[in-house]
Amino acid sequence: MIKHPYPAQLTPLYADRVSAGFPSPASDYLEARLDLNAHLINSPSSTIFVRAGGDSMQGRGIFSGDLLIVDRSITPKNGQIVIAALNGELTCKTLDTEQRCLVAANPRYAPIPITQESEFSIEGVVIASVRYHQCSP
């Protein structure tokens, strides 16, 4: 288990799954206590959070306002969702190393080529996202 630098609030994790169809009686059985930091963050010192904006990654389940968990220690691979700095602007896209481009997950957006002239760096790999179903904080 990875030790995290911030104190964690352990939240109850119940063994039963919640029905997203027809309701069923809830169980009182507590499986464990869950620390979301331990569950979502492997490298605390190299993990950052960024908020998504726009609709270009909806096909991969990332919506405007989602909180992205980004690990800067992971070596990016083809097909992974990354945060990239391209010509001075940050963007969240799928990395295509074979075609040397960044690909949106919305067909309305064309792939963005990465050329020799591009100022390009990958800031990290998106390892998870958090979607707020009420008001965003």
Q: Which residues are catalytic?
A: 56, 93
CB 102 within 8 A of CB 118: no
Side-chain-facing half-sphere of 94: CA atoms under 13 Å: 20
What the block records as the tokens of 12 is 């109850």
CB 93 within 8 A of CB 70: no
Residues 6+ apart with CB under 8 A from 86: 102, 112, 114, 118, 119, 120
Handedness of CA 21, 25, 27, 28 (dihedral sign): positive
